[in-house]
Amino acid sequence: MATITAALNVSSDISSYGLTINNTMTMTKAGSTVGLERTSSLQRVHLTNKRHVDLLVRGSGTVADMTVTKAAKVYIKYLEADTSKHVTIGLGDAKNNADLASTANTSDSGTFFELGKLYGDEWMIIPWSGTSATGDITVHPSSATTADPAIVEYIVFFD
């Protein structure tokens, strides 16, 4: 059993009273106090065109050993200094590859939906069930070329 922790800190002067979130979670298996013990390790991909692609496919590739519908956590970061650029993160199927970011939420597959956009230097951490209908995690860069690729890092911890 491994011990994996994720410490989140958010601090803001957004209101007169401020706003602070300090929370540390220990990642455990589903319904258990036993820690997650598998990982994709830290991955980095260079996207060299603006196509909508699967970043993670449930139970396949780097997460082939993942038991879907159990516990998993996904961390994703968009490595980009320019905050006007973004990658759209979604759940579903990107196999039909919408070419333009503006059509990302109307994938031909009918199973894709947009979660949110990571602008330059932003990151996120979510649980991931990898359910059958919309189980893959997709990424769709607003700007990406061979000379100036969209670089995305991610790591999955799973049951």
Query: Please, is 38 exposed, middle or buried when counting C-beta atoms within 10 Å of its C-beta (0-12, 13-18, 19+)?
Result: middle
Task: Point out which span in 43-51, 56-64, 78-86, 143-151 binds another protein (CB under 8 A).
Answer: 78-86
Q: Cα–Cα distance between 31 and 42 in angstroms, integer? A: 26
- What are the backbone dihedrals phi and psi of residue 44, each rounded to the nearest 5 degrees, phi first? -135, 130
Which residue, 62 or 146, is less far from another protein as judged by CB?
Answer: 62
Binding span for another protein by CB under 8 A among 48-56, 59-67, 130-138, 144-152: 130-138
Closest CA to 105 of 119, 87, 117, 90: 90
Q: Using CB under 8 A as the criterion, what x/- string covers residues 23-52 for binding another protein? A: x-xxxx-xxxx---x-x-xx----------
Q: How far is the CB of 48 from another protein (least distance, A)?
A: 22
CB 123 within 8 A of CB 73: no
> Would strands 86-91 and 123-127 be described as parallel, antiparallel, or unpaired?
unpaired
Cα–Cα distance for residue pair 62/39, rounded to 1 Å = 8
Figure out which of the listed residues 48, 67, 129, 143 binds another protein, where binding follows CB under 8 A: 129
Taking CB under 8 A as the criterion, the residue among 56, 66, 94, 118 binding another protein is 118
Show contacts with another protein in window 79-108 (CB under 8 A).
Answer: 83-84, 86, 88-89, 91-92, 105-107
Rounded-to-10 torsion of CA 84, 89, 93, 95: 30
Least Cα distance to 119 among 143, 89, 84 occurs for 84
Q: Is 16 in the site for another protein (CB under 8 A)?
A: no
Residues at the contact surface with another protein, assessed by CB under 8 A: 2-15, 19, 21, 23, 25-28, 30-33, 37, 39, 41-42, 71-73, 75, 77, 83-84, 86, 88-89, 91-92, 105-107, 110, 113-119, 121-129, 131, 133-134, 155, 157
